[in-house]
Chains A and B, each alone.
Chain A
């Protein structure tokens, strides 16, 4: 049974003032905002995330929607890759790169750590990738991803997209190594 009794909690005054503003914008009471926020944090914890990780993950999901991400059956996507690649590989490659650039620029605007946000996006949205790794070393970034089911065409398009994202964030490619189901890239700021 849900307890109806209330307890007092301390919160910084600045945050309360901001919360009042957000609640007002959303047309709800401060009490409702507080309850929803706390419930959200507890629900996120049940899924194994701390509040920060959960917030980033959820933002990535929403951002994707804003950027026109849509669901498509994997089998169909592979078919489309094959057909498009066979006929207009250059044009399609450019489109994936441009789309990546747009995403990169947007992530840079929206996230404190756009690279981490991009990694989170790939991990949650591209389940066809078995492993996504991003290592930062000073102003250099090493990106690696592996997949046992990604086709040759799919690998090539994903490579273009990833490069586009990093270029959009403000990096330049210094190493590009790839083969079916494997992408290894290095970027420098």
Chain B
């Protein structure tokens, strides 16, 4: 059997990173060369498959947070379909359930996030809405305006989702001043209840 010689090249890397990898390699009883090659190979193969691992790593927190907030990952098309059936079957019940979920989530943020719970809620809401093309949440002088554009979102679902936001805003101390819901579009304006 003949072994094809693998050509090696050198490249510069940050010393502190290399030192840490060196100790990992030592711990695992392998060479630094093997470990570094494995890392590059994984990153390159993922890129070849259209996956940027760096971006994926940055999104990892969303999964953790979603778990704490009681959110689950489900194919979007399926729950649009189910929401449609639930809404047609019992509109009031469905709306009530979505409103209550918004209340629950806002309460959780008010309880757990001691500093700026509304900010944390907005951040999570945006993160969980990666399926939504555009979500803009603006806050100014005790006024909040939310604009959601999602061409795939059926009107039924837009109604339910806006009710969920309403429940949350209500709990954060806002009352709805204006609400506009149609296929793929939600616009909500809310003002502080004390205003």
Indicate whether B177 reaches chain A with its CB closer than 8 angstroms. no
When A39-B17, A59-B53 are in contact, do A68 and B73 touch as well, CB less than 8 Å?
no
- With an 8 Å Cβ cutoff, the count of chain A residues facing the other chain is 78
B60 touches A70 (CB 8 A): no
- Tell me, rounded to whole Å, the shortest Cβ–Cβ distance linking B109 to chain A: 13
Dominant SS among interface residues on chain A = helix
Choose one: A59, A65, A88; the contact of B85 (CB below 8 Å): A88
Are A55's CB and B42's CB within 8 A? yes
Residues of A within 8 A of B49 (CB): 59, 110
B42-A9 in contact (CB<8A) = no
B residues less than 8 Å from A179 (CB atoms): none
Contact B89 A70 (CB under 8 A): no
Given contacts A37-B40, A83-B85, A96-B78, contact A55 B53 (CB under 8 A): yes
Question: Which residues of A are at the interface with B, using a C-beta cutoff of 8 A?
Answer: 2-16, 18-19, 22, 25-26, 30-31, 33-45, 47, 51-52, 54-55, 58-59, 61-77, 79-81, 83-84, 86-88, 92, 95-96, 99, 103, 110, 124-128
Q: List 20 A-B contacts (CB under 8 A).
A: A2-B14, A7-B18, A9-B13, A9-B18, A10-B32, A12-B8, A54-B53, A58-B60, A61-B60, A65-B130, A68-B75, A70-B75, A70-B130, A71-B62, A72-B72, A75-B70, A79-B94, A83-B86, A83-B94, A126-B72
